[in-house]
Amino acid sequence: MSNAELSVLEKNILRAKGVNDQGLAALTAAGISSKADFAVVGDAETLAAVTGLEAEAAERVMAWAMGETATSGAAGTVTIDSPDVVHCAHCQARQPKDYKSGDLCLSCGQQAEPTRSCFWCGESGPGQFCRGCGTRFVAIAEFELALMLRRDGYPRDDIPTRLQAMAPAEKDALWARVRQLR
Ligand SMILES: [Zn+2]
Ligand SMILES: [Zn+2]
């Protein structure tokens, strides 16, 4: 056992991937104390099994953790994906440039993007935007936060940007309110 802990930056990134404080504690308890430890874990399924993280969050975490391992090669070059690059939710394969929402993954044949639900109208589908009302989807892990902001009366189009700009502490406070309503 080491008493090493994930860095503040790593924790913030993990929070952005949908890992809450409980999840972070579970990672530490499972012995994960650095990004490199995720390579030992190997895949999202194992991560979910050892930490109890939700599958969605586990997949995002592994995509992040393994993505850099794969791209920081011997030459030391790091490829930074542009934000609109889509990786398959099932096998993490990077989708081609002409990829369109709803396309099947070229590598594993499953629908590359997860289906998300619209926090505004309840319609669900793949892609970045709701086909029912045009609202930008929020991360699956933050769906309930979006519902809470909606309840608070924020305009539809402000909610996704607001969530993205929110500091982890603000999100924690919002989560606390979500839990109170359960
Ligand atoms: Zn795939
Ligand atoms: Zn909608």
What is the tens place of the pLDDT at every residue in 138-163? 988 899 999 999 999 999 999 999 99
- Centre of ligand 2 to C-alpha 79, Å, is 34
CA distance 114 to 90: 9
**Long-range interactions of 143-147: CB distance < 8 A, separation 24+:** 143/116, 143/117, 143/119, 144/175, 144/178, 145/171, 145/174, 145/175, 145/178, 146/119, 147/119, 147/178
Best mean pLDDT range from 78-82, 126-130, 144-148 = 144-148
Are residues 24 and 52 in contact, defined by beta-carbon separation less than 8 angstroms? Answer: no
What per-residue confidence (pLDDT) applies to 160? Answer: 96
Nearest CA to 30 out of 1, 56, 9, 55 is that of 1
Task: Indicate whether this model's pTM tops 0.75.
Answer: no
Give the mean model confidence (pLDDT) for residues 20-28: 92
Nearest ligand, CA of residue 104?
Answer: 1
- Give, for 5, the enclosing helix (H) or strand (E): none
CA distance 157 to 162: 9
- Centre of ligand 1 to C-alpha 35, Å, is 23
pLDDT tens sequence across 54-68: 989 999 998 888 875
pLDDT higher than threshold 80 for residue 83: no
Upper half-sphere CA count for residue 43 (Cβ side, 13 Å): 6
- Give, for 32, the enclosing helix (H) or strand (E): none
pLDDT higher than threshold 60 for residue 170: yes
Nearest ligand, CA of residue 112?
Answer: 1
Nearest ligand, CA of residue 111?
Answer: 1
| 87: three-class secondary structure by DSSP | strand
